[in-house]
Amino acid sequence: MRAIEVWKKDICMNEPSGKLTNSRAVAAEIIAEWLDTGEFTDHLMESVQADRAFVMEVVSGVARWKRTLEWIIKRCAKRRPDKEVIPFLLVGLYQVFMMDKVEEYAAVNETVKAVKSAGLMHAVAFTNAIFRRAVREKAGIMEELGRQPPVVRLSHPDVLVDRWKKQFGQEKTLRLLEWNNSRPEVVIRPNKTKVVLADFIRTLKEAAIEVLPHPFAPEQFLVVPRGINVPDIPGYQQGHFTVQDPSTLVSVRLLDPRPGEFVLDACAAPGGKTSAIAENMNGKGRIVAMDIQDDRLGTLKENLRRLEVKSVTVLKGDAASELDLKKACDGRLFDRILLDVPCTNTGVLRRRSDARWRFSVKGLTGLAVLQGKMLSNASGFLKPGGILVYSTCSLEPEEGEGLIAGWLTEHPGFTKAGSEMLFPPETQTDGAYACAISRNG
């Protein structure tokens, strides 16, 4: 049994004071595994139950501020820390420098106890000394940090910042870095087939939940106050709303699905766009919602069940596979196709903080090849006069307008019908690119 499983078991059996210590140990173990494997932090968090909110805050925070925290470690340590100690240093220093309303010495003491619980007795004095120095010299460290280059003080990789400076310029890039490090809100879209917006807002107010209209689409999306558990919001089980970023509105708007049409949502999970398509079609017509991953298919099915979306057929399939697309169309061509492709996620680094450290030019190139293949395959199942919307949550032109321009040059039977790109600090949404392509008829 891995150490992380032992610690999780201990958490369930200990008293509250013990939970705090073990929670820091669990967070450190998850961070250690993340640093070692590069696996998504949310996947590593899936089995954590006790003190989940705290562990999630620390893990996602460390992933976001990794480069800054590493600079602080170097600033405070007299020697290079051993590999197994670094996750605990990241956990402790994140609490001291980045968490609000934290009793610094209590956080330090609990993290040192976590080091002991991991059996790293040789590192106790070392980690304790770094933490104590960090607390003692915090003001000076923060002042010195403020003079560091943006990649350090705002914790981003050079490769992304260099690219964005060329694409957006210095000022917009700094705004983007700051946006990526801010805390994302929970945004919901009321289900207009079940509730009237004004009545829904009134119901939430009666439950002491004061929502605000989202500035990007105030008639369709609401911002929920921090600290509200989504399943506790009135109407959750009844499917009165879905958790969804307003950026998803763009691709559905460009798709413009009509009642009675045959529509493919080719990469559908978790289902927010699928349900929006169904709403636009007034439950008339047929939607095929396809996704390749079993766990995401489960989420898709559950969301559609909760929202009571009836006009959707859910299939397991790969949009890069002509065979799977052929099965999905069942001998017919689609009127509309939404192709929300896998990407580098550079538009959603606010929500997926660890994705910034996975970015590479090589990975970008490989994804662009896959995206082009998916677009070529899907376009073959679009009827003449039909609309295909290519969308991505990336800010990189190789995955957006650059890819589309090259693809259209090679496919003269298709025409660009409109596009939109969202720059997060300006729209207050996730970053996204969407382009509508019509098949010449």
Q: Final residue of a domain: which of 127, 153, 179?
A: 153
Give me the CATH number covering residue 428.
3.40.50.150
Same domain, 302 and 407: yes
Is 205 a domain residue? no
| Residue pLDDT, tens place only, 103-127 | 888 899 999 999 999 999 999 999 9
Whether residue 264 lies inside any domain: the answer is: yes
pLDDT at residue 295 in the model: 87
In a domain, 186, yes or no: no
Question: Do 39 and 147 reside in the same domain of the chain?
Answer: yes
Q: Does 134 share its domain with 271?
A: no
Q: What averages of pLDDT result for each successive group of 10 residues across the chain (441 residues)? A: 40 37 87 95 89 93 98 95 96 95 88 93 96 96 98 98 98 98 96 95 97 97 94 96 96 97 97 95 95 92 94 95 95 97 97 96 98 97 98 98 98 97 98 98 79
Residue 75 falls within a domain, yes or no?
A: yes
Q: Where a domain ends, among 98, 133, 153?
A: 153
Q: Are 149 and 254 in the same domain? A: no
With 0-12 CB in 10 A as exposed, 13-18 as middle and 19+ as buried, what is 140?
exposed
300-326 pLDDT tens trace: 999 999 999 988 999 999 999 999 999
Q: Are residues 134 and 264 in the same domain?
A: no
Residue 328 lies in a domain: yes
pLDDT number for residue 10: 40
Domains identified in the chain, total number: 2
Do 140 and 264 sit in the same domain of this protein? no
In terms of domains, do 267 and 404 share one?
yes
My answer on whether 252 and 399 are in the same domain is: yes
pLDDT, residue 150, reads: 97
Give the predicted TM-score (pTM) of the model. Answer: 0.92
User: 271: domain range?
Assistant: 248-439
Q: Which one of 153, 180, 205 terminates a domain?
A: 153
Query: For residue 368, is it within any domain?
Result: yes
- What is the per-residue pLDDT for 383? 97
Same domain, 15 and 141: yes
Q: Does the residue 267 lie in any domain?
A: yes
Say whether both 122 and 259 belong to one domain: no
CATH value at residue 79 = 1.10.940.10
The pLDDT score that the predictor gives to residue 332 is 95
Q: Residue 385: inside a domain, yes or no?
A: yes
Q: Which structure tokens are listed for 346?
A: 């550079």
Q: Which sequence positions are flagged as catalytic? A: 393
Q: What is the pLDDT, as a whole number, of residue 105?
A: 87
